[in-house]
Amino acid sequence: MKNRAIKGFSLIELMVVVAIIGIIAAFAYPSYTESTAKARRTDAQGGLVGLSAAMERFYTINSTYTGAGDGGDTNKPPIATLFPSQTPFDGKTKFYNLTLSATSTTYSLKATPINGQAGDRCGNLTLTSSGVKGAAETDCWR
């Protein structure tokens, strides 16, 4: 009789592979989730900067920031019709609501996390008319 080699994996070999995959996943998943959150934050930051540019255009035309959020004068369109109020601008799922508060000489913009971004460590992102950027963590606007 010929000795035939047994083909396949032993249970020990299989458990070693499972353990290695588990260790890799333990490091990769948190990195992936932070990377995804950072990409969503970048969309919100772009939205804030774009809304800031829209506010500056509004001020150039009207010599005031007042009325930018609600339209004010019926001859002047509101920022809401000129600029989206949620980011990302494309796609189904939105992760930030963009809001503004304005006086005649200043404005403050805020991106509030929603849906899958609601528990983000950075919290609300803010941008003012003087260019001051704010967030719960110092590294959120990098």
- Write out pLDDT tens, residues 25-74: 999 998 999 999 999 999 999 999 999 998 898 899 889 888 776 555 54
What DSSP string describes 93-137?
---EEEEEEE-SS-EEEEEEE-GGGTT-TT--EEEETT--EE-SS
β-strand partners of 99: 110
Asked whether the predicted pLDDT for residue 142 surpasses 60, the reply is yes
Q: Given this model, what pLDDT does residue 101 score?
A: 85
Q: Given this model, what pLDDT does residue 77 score?
A: 46
Per CATH, domain 11-134 is 3.30.700: yes
The angle at the Cα of 44, spanning 130 to 94, to the nearest 5 degrees, equals: 145
Q: Given this model, what pLDDT does residue 123 score?
A: 92
80 neighbors 54 (Cβ within 8 angstroms) = no
pTM to 2 decimal places: 0.77
pLDDT confidence band for 81 (50 / 70 / 90): low
Domain boundaries, the chain: 11-134
- For the chain, what percent of residues have pLDDT higher than 90? 49
Asked whether the predicted pLDDT for residue 76 surpasses 60, the reply is no
69 neighbors 80 (Cβ within 8 angstroms) = yes
Computed over every residue of the chain, the mean pLDDT equals: 85
